[in-house]
Amino acid sequence: MNFRNKYVLAIDQGTTSSRAILFSHQGNIITLAQKTFQQYFPKPGWVEHDPNEIWYTQSSAIKEAMAKADVTDMHIACIGIANQRETTIIWDRETGFPVYNAIVWQDRRTADYCEELKTKGYASLIQQKTGLVIDAYFSATKIRWILDHVKGVRERAERGELCFGTVDSWLVWKLTRGNEFITDITNASRTMLFNIHTQEWDKELLDLFQIPASMMPEVKSSSEVYCETSTPIFKTGIPVSGMAGDQQAALFGQLCTDIGMIKTTYGTGCFMILNTGSKPVLSKNNLLTTIAWKLDGKVTYALEGSVFVGGAVVQWLRDELGLIQSAAITEQLANSVPDNGGVYFVPALTGLGAPYWDQYARGVIIGITRGTSTAHLTRAALEGICYQVYDVLMAMENDIHAKPKEIRVDGGAIANNFLMQFQADICRCPVVRPRVLETTALGAAYLAGLAIGYWKDVDELKEQWSLDNIFSAEMHEETAETLLTEWHKAVGRSLNWAAD
């Protein structure tokens, strides 16, 4: 097939915005378009999106990206999708209308139900089957909540009238006008309903959560031709041929294809994933065992640590407190003071993820004095991101009994040199920033392109990866240890704060 003058369209549907990026055969960005959408917070700890707004912004971003590059359907070889994971949408199979807003991965409304499941002794069963801990983070309890709390929905689900999907499923449904109801194996592995060993929806878990099997999408690999588009956005059908949850897509985009390679994405949250190869490693340190991708019939597994609030803490400083005007100024502010002034910020704004998994933790800013400035608070917020990543890294090292050679990083926040240097200082490990920062979208593009032969194989992709900068530890080790001791004292103050 001749792919001359053709591009791969990557859909990168995230927690706060929908983006579309066109990539060339060399893995370079041709054009990018981004549309933000509204966040809904109906009650404390609740986070929702409008599924129709997700689709509207995503379709608008696609149109804008194509217009910017002055390309038509004929210039697009295929489409890859990366998406915010765990976010739960249920819609009518006939009309395509959502029965309720999307319940976002950050949402904590099912925390009490999760505690009840733990009390009843289901934690081991769920970890053995799914690789996950019991937490409101994942899709299963969100589905159950909608079935139990939205009038008439359970009855409709039991009649086979409704579809459940994570955002990838919703986008494919919309791209094909309801002709395809699918998900990929990485997104399935984040629902707490998918058996990562048999690679099937688990009947015992579906029964436990009282979820009809008819609601569940067909599970596909991460790289294959699933379907062709049939939407007014495109005049002709374009193959949709790659799909992965955003963090797995970033792992692939960073070409962490060998066992032991590790990446951290700094987005709304922070997500560290370690490639463990063909065998799942069940964590003894509160990490998640997940599926990295399924490619050429082979499943690759990973260990993951999820930090719920990463870059979102900077958004919070800007939008809720009004302390800063933009994220870009945080590097300058952090560097304007010699240290954090004794201030520590635990950004447990939606509880704490790995390795604490405390649904009742809440945000803490501690060590404030009369001399505390906006610069100190900003620096403490950035440092708090890095400390959380350190805690995940330590859990990972304890699980695999080895220290990684490097941490590859991606996501919007990695342009902040202060953040990257402090991360290297605290972790005592080289932090490697690639030239192409959009590795989530790039991973989706790679998975899609491989399926149609746009790229020959992974070895060809490895030739494209290039370095921007390496950050090595410069801080005295004793200083780093002192900072970490104070950080863990601050974390102790935040734990279990909101429990009854």
Q: What is the pLDDT of residue 25?
A: 92
Q: What is the pLDDT of residue 257?
A: 92
Per-residue pLDDT tens over the stretch 375-397: 999 999 999 999 999 999 999 99
| Binding positions for glycerol | 85-86, 137, 246-247
pTM of the predicted model, to two decimals?
Answer: 0.88
Q: What is the pLDDT of residue 156?
A: 96
Find, among 348, 393, 351, the residue nearest to 366 by Cα: 348
> What parts of the chain have a pLDDT lower than 70?
1-2, 500
Distance CA 237, CA 170 (A): 18
Per-residue pLDDT tens over the stretch 326-354: 888 899 999 999 999 999 999 998 889 88
| Binding positions | 15-17, 19, 85-86, 137, 246-247, 268, 311, 315, 412, 416
Mean pLDDT of the chain: 93
Q: What is the pLDDT of residue 121?
A: 95
| Binding positions for ATP | 15-17, 268, 311, 315, 412
| Binding positions for sn-glycerol 3-phosphate | 15, 85-86, 137, 246
| Binding positions for ADP | 15, 19, 268, 311, 412, 416
